Chains A and B, each alone.
Chain A
């Protein structure tokens, strides 16, 4: 049996049956990271019509191990996964959960996130900094904008992309945020507003950079046979992919093209049996305005240098042909640090038709793609509300 045939067996084998955020998202100095996790898990379980005690697979990334989460919710999981490769880890974990569920290694999987990114309640900075400590920090590097700007400047040099085009990404995303009651920043935004906002690290002003918030989120999955009996119509995982290329930005082979994303997308599309043009809704991890265009290029939806064209008025915006980042994104809705759980939640809600003013009419197939670090790792999902196998 070929690799492709084996992968295709996984397509639509599992469904997302519950999704939700923590009780609140935003600035929450009164809530610990663990509380954000637990709120999101209990809310997502309620959304699924599944008891928390039925969860037997725990998937989480960041500062909590899955053991901590199992303990906190009072279950003894028989499958745990703590793959931590940056903000896309939760997207990758949907794929991992798919494999575990398909093979009967667990029956109800939760992928969960809780991060006090803004208030720092319970945050510990401990990590191995031997390499950046020697080769990056003495020069003033540190914090994501000081790295992603290098990718962006080089892209401008190679393809002639402009500050105005990056700003258009923020403007498009804000139009969606205006329609999402949970979004943090909802007031109208213009290209000029972005260009006139406070400079942080050229080529980025503050409005090119994501929010910093406190938030939790959770996604519950089960096998397709059981998913049919949950509270809501399931959203099927039609394809899943992942990749990782580098951590240190000096090690990225092509600074303007993410091989991790290319690999992740190709795998997800092959598993799903879809083409890059088959989607009617797209969620892309937007820590910076230049991120989504570069992802579209690496995923093969846009030619190199042309991802920015997707963010023109009437294309990615409300009412447009290919809506992108319909929750308002990390740029305007929420971004706790590891944002990857939230695009999965939004895609699920869109495919269920739950999104009210921002609902994409007749959304049937959604693309979710996230990055970890500086396009260092990637996770891709093809989600669909039609589960034929």
Chain B
């Protein structure tokens, strides 16, 4: 199978629910049961209060484009998506930030702006792995 992207690897035990959720089209994030704060990346203790009581919740999938870049070349040879590609940092409305790609918009810094509202979409790579991506709310323009 010829993949355009490197698969997420290695999938670590503490992150497995994230990838199982993504396969079902759900964006799962970790949340501290003690202080109530959601966080990402998944880890076994809360970065805010150090509690070890951590659970998973489904995020709304909505957020804002916190920052972005237009990549004209990619160093990773396993990444074969045609450039330019929009590399994105998204801040979810629950708070945590994720790195991703922004799709559904021209890779043009005149059209893309920080803080524009975005929503999650999923790109199926294999039967096991779907990758959370983000697109502008309201679709392409």
Binding site for B on A (CB under 8 A): 130-131, 133-143, 146, 149-151, 153-154, 157, 199-204, 248-251, 255
Bound form: Cα–Cα A130–B66 in Å: 24
**In-complex Cβ contact of A139 among B18, B87, B97 (8 A):** B87
Q: Which of B12, B18, B68, B131 has the most CB of A within 10 A?
A: B68
Contact with A along B1-14 (1 / 0, CB 8 A): 00001111111100
B131 touches A138 (CB 8 A): yes
**In-complex Cβ contact of A201 among B10, B72, B114 (8 A):** B72
Assess whether B121 is interfacial by the CB under 8 Å rule. Answer: no
A140 touches B74 (CB 8 A): yes
Assess whether B69 is interfacial by the CB under 8 Å rule. Answer: yes
Tell me which residues across on chain A come within 8 A of B125, comparing CB atoms.
Answer: 138
A153 touches B41 (CB 8 A): no
- Count chain B residues whose beta carbon lies closer than 8 angstroms to a beta carbon of A: 45
- How far apart are B50's CB and chain A's nearest CB, in angstroms? 15
Assess whether B59 is interfacial by the CB under 8 Å rule. Answer: no
Tell me which residues across on chain A come within 8 A of B41, comparing CB atoms.
Answer: 131, 134-135, 248, 250
Q: Which of A157, A202, A248 has the most CB of B within 10 A?
A: A202
Bound form: Cα–Cα A46–B109 in Å: 52
**In-complex Cβ contact of B75 among A143, A151, A202, A255 (8 A):** A143
Tell me which residues across on chain B come within 8 A of A131, comparing CB atoms.
Answer: 41
- How far apart are A265's CB and chain B's nearest CB, in angstroms? 24
Bound form: Cα–Cα A339–B19 in Å: 37
- How far apart are B9's CB and chain A's nearest CB, in angstroms? 5
B66 touches A140 (CB 8 A): no
A140 touches B12 (CB 8 A): no
- How far apart are A270's CB and chain B's nearest CB, in angstroms? 28
Main secondary structure of the interface of A (DSSP, over half): helix
Tell me which residues across on chain B come within 8 A of A149, comparing CB atoms.
Answer: 69, 87
Query: Which B89-141 residues have a C-beta within 8 angstroms of A?
Result: 89, 96-101, 109, 113-115, 125, 131
Chain A residue at smallest Cβ distance from B3: A138
A200 touches B68 (CB 8 A): no
Q: A140-B76, A142-B74 are in contact. List 10 more A-B contacts (CB 8 A).
A: A131-B41, A137-B79, A138-B6, A140-B74, A142-B75, A199-B72, A200-B71, A202-B69, A203-B69, A255-B67
Chain B residue at smallest Cβ distance from A137: B6
B81 touches A250 (CB 8 A): no
Tell me which residues across on chain B come within 8 A of A151, comparing CB atoms.
Answer: 67
Tell me which residues across on chain A come within 8 A of B79, comparing CB atoms.
Answer: 137-138, 140, 142
- Of the A-B pairs whose beta carbons lie under 8 Å apart in the complex, a sample of 9, sorted by A's number, is A130-B10, A133-B9, A134-B9, A135-B99, A138-B125, A140-B81, A143-B75, A150-B87, A202-B71
Chain B residue at smallest Cβ distance from A150: B67
Tell me which residues across on chain A come within 8 A of B67, comparing CB atoms.
Answer: 150-151, 153-154, 157, 255
**In-complex Cβ contact of A150 among B8, B68, B75, B96 (8 A):** B68
B89 touches A249 (CB 8 A): yes
Q: Which of A141, A146, A149 has the most CB of B within 10 A?
A: A141
Chain A residue at smallest Cβ distance from B90: A250
B89 touches A250 (CB 8 A): yes
Tell me which residues across on chain A come within 8 A of B8, comparing CB atoms.
Answer: 133-135, 137-138
Bound form: Cα–Cα A151–B69 in Å: 10
A202 touches B5 (CB 8 A): no
Tell me which residues across on chain B come within 8 A of A134, comparing CB atoms.
Answer: 8-12, 15, 18-19, 41
B87 touches A146 (CB 8 A): yes
- How far apart are A293's CB and chain B's nearest CB, in angstroms? 17
Bound form: Cα–Cα A157–B67 in Å: 9
Tell me which residues across on chain B come within 8 A of A249, comparing CB atoms.
Answer: 89, 99
- How far apart are B90's CB and chain A's nearest CB, in angstroms? 9
Tell me which residues across on chain B come within 8 A of A141, comparing CB atoms.
Answer: 87, 99
Tell me which residues across on chain B come within 8 A of A202, comparing CB atoms.
Answer: 69-72, 84, 109
